[in-house]
Amino acid sequence: MIIFLTSTATTAQIAEVTAYCERAGYSVRLSKDADQTVVSAFGDGGPLIAAEIRRLPGVERAAPISAPYKRASRETHPKDTVVDIGPLRIGGRQLVVMAGPCAVESLEGLREIARAVHAAGASMLRGGAFKPRTSPYSFQGLADVGLEYLQQVRALTGLPVVTEVTHPELVERVSAAADMLQIGARNMQNFALLQAVGASRRPVLLKRGMMSTAEELLMAAEYILSHGNPRVVLCERGIRTFETATRNTVDISVVPLLKRLTHLPVVVDPSHGTGRRDLVEPVARAAIAAGADGLMIEVHDHPDRALSDGPQSLHPHQFEALMDGLRDIASAVGRTL
Ligand code: PEP
Ligand code: MN
């Protein structure tokens, strides 16, 4: 239920509406700005009768929330959410670029890559320590050692770190080491994991499942939001289609679509989206032109020797060129880089 209060509603009246909803078993989110107070009531804690609510003093109108992803929906939160990571803001005017290797492979390598992407203007360092690989024989990541390297390199460069968490039991350890938790495409509907990161205080980068609809992505976000974590950033990373010339098909249209449906920030990963180094830059440009709040890009100092995703990893100089080329597009759509 979404309840709009009159502009003259008193604090006591707002409290009464909130208490009414809570008594009916709903959890409540209050959003207030200069000219409107909105009470959103979430859950299925019992019948909440719109007619009864409309009769409460101070209520202008009340209507059911039409989207199934109630907390993620713009209906209940018309303003854009900005996710803060220290001084970094995802979803504001400034675009956020997360860059780094697919996997953390060595301390020296990570340090080199981090220095290069930092110098080129990246604002976060990415790198997997726990790698969900299609083949059990592929490199699975350095696990805790990888987390340790990420922390060391963060201390060196000051770049906040985003890294994947693959199991509910790992959430505490990864949260202690990273600034942002990544849920990979393969785990987008791992509901136990979504609940676990929902209970964490770290912001979450939620990647779209390769066979998931926009609505399923938003329902996955809803799991995290409804378990108490409001800091969720969505990531389009390509979906599987009949096309085999690219690793996945980047759904550019989902960017403006999500912007309409939800208040959560949206970033695009053209590396996994295309699987091809030569396509990363043009797709990155398209994503920003379409309204994305940022990018996630794989960069490696020796892509030909990378233990995972070498063919889609940019050389540091290519990443630098990509960043330079993005500035004009950013300013054309009212953003800064
Ligand atoms: C990754 O970011 O390294 C990754 C595994 O991505 P995805 O989950 O989108 O495949
Ligand atoms: Mn990768």
pLDDT at position 31: 86
Separation of alpha carbons 130 and 271, rounded Å: 18
| Amino acid type, 147 | L
Number of domains in the chain: 2
Looking at the structure, tell me whether residues 45 and 113 fall in a common domain: no
pLDDT at position 48: 62
Res. 70 pLDDT band, cuts 50 70 90: very high
CA 29–ligand 2 middle distance (angstroms): 37
pLDDT at position 164: 98
Closest ligand 1 atom to Cα of 185: 8
Per-residue pLDDT at 47 exceeds 70: no
Per-residue pLDDT at 337 exceeds 70: yes
pLDDT at position 34: 77
Residue 122 within a domain: yes
Q: Give pLDDT tens digits for 118-144.
A: 999 999 999 999 999 999 999 999 999
Q: Which of 25-34, 116-125, 269-278 has the lowest mean pLDDT?
A: 25-34
Per-residue pLDDT at 32 exceeds 90: no
pLDDT at position 35: 78
Looking at the structure, tell me whether residues 100 and 182 fall in a common domain: yes
Residue 323 within a domain: yes
Residue 130 within a domain: yes
Res. 193 pLDDT band, cuts 50 70 90: very high
Res. 46 pLDDT band, cuts 50 70 90: low
Separation of alpha carbons 83 and 115, rounded Å: 24
pLDDT higher for 35 or 293?
293
Residue 317 within a domain: yes
CA 30–ligand 2 middle distance (angstroms): 39
Rounded to an integer, the average pLDDT of 287-291 is 98
pLDDT at position 44: 73
Looking at the structure, tell me whether residues 12 and 87 fall in a common domain: no
State phi, psi for 29 to the nearest 5 degrees.
-125, 130
* Residues 263 and 77 sit within 8 Å (Cβ to Cβ): yes
Looking at the structure, tell me whether residues 191 and 275 fall in a common domain: yes
pLDDT at position 310: 98
Res. 36 pLDDT band, cuts 50 70 90: confident
Neighbours of 34 (CB within 10 A): 5
Looking at the structure, tell me whether residues 188 and 295 fall in a common domain: yes
Write out the chain in H/E/C secondary structure.
CEEEECCCCCHHHHHHHHHHHHHCCCEEEEEECCCCEEEEEECCCCCCCHHHHHCCCCEEEEECCCCCCCCCECCCCCCCCCEEECCEEECCCECEEEEECCECCCHHHHHHHHHHHHHHCCCEEECECCCCCCCCCCCCCCCHHHHHHHHHHHHHHCCCEEEECCCHHHHHHHHHHCCEEEECHHHCCCHHHHHHHHCCCCCEEEECCCCCCHHHHHHHHHHHHHCCCCCEEEEECCECCCCCCCCCECCCCHHHHHHHHECCCEEECHHHHHCCHHHHHHHHHHHHHCCCCEEEEEECCCHHHCCCCHHHCECHHHHHHHHHHHHHHHHHCCCEC
Res. 51 pLDDT band, cuts 50 70 90: confident
Question: Is residue 247 in contact with ligand 1, taking CB distance under 6 Å?
Answer: no
Residue 140 within a domain: yes
Separation of alpha carbons 326 and 287, rounded Å: 10
Looking at the structure, tell me whether residues 195 and 321 fall in a common domain: yes
Rounded to an integer, the average pLDDT of 273-290 is 98
- Say which residue the tokens 């399923």 belong to: 216
Range of the domain at 101: 83-332
State phi, psi for 167 to the nearest 5 degrees.
-150, 140
pLDDT at position 181: 98
Q: Give pLDDT tens digits for 78-99.
A: 899 999 999 999 999 999 999 9
108 contacts: CB under 8 Å, gap ≥ 6? none
Res. 52 pLDDT band, cuts 50 70 90: confident
Please, what is the average pLDDT of the chain?
A: 96
Looking at the structure, tell me whether residues 311 and 224 fall in a common domain: yes
Residue 76 within a domain: no
Looking at the structure, tell me whether residues 55 and 132 fall in a common domain: no
Looking at the structure, tell me whether residues 40 and 103 fall in a common domain: no
- Residue whose CA is at the smallest distance from ligand 1 atom 1: 102
Question: Is residue 102 in contact with ligand 1, taking CB distance under 6 Å?
Answer: yes
Give the CATH number, domain containing residue 292: 3.20.20.70
Rounded to an integer, the average pLDDT of 255-260 is 98
Residue 280 within a domain: yes
Closest ligand 1 atom to Cα of 208: 9
Res. 188 pLDDT band, cuts 50 70 90: very high
**CB pairs under 8 A, 24+ apart, for 249-252?**
249/273, 250/274, 250/283, 250/286, 250/287, 252/283, 252/286, 252/287, 252/290
* Residues 295 and 267 sit within 8 Å (Cβ to Cβ): yes
Give the CATH number, domain containing residue 14: 3.30.70.1140
Looking at the structure, tell me whether residues 247 and 304 fall in a common domain: yes
Give me 38's structure tokens. Answer: 């909105």
CA 107–ligand 1 middle distance (angstroms): 21
What pTM value is reported for the model? 0.96
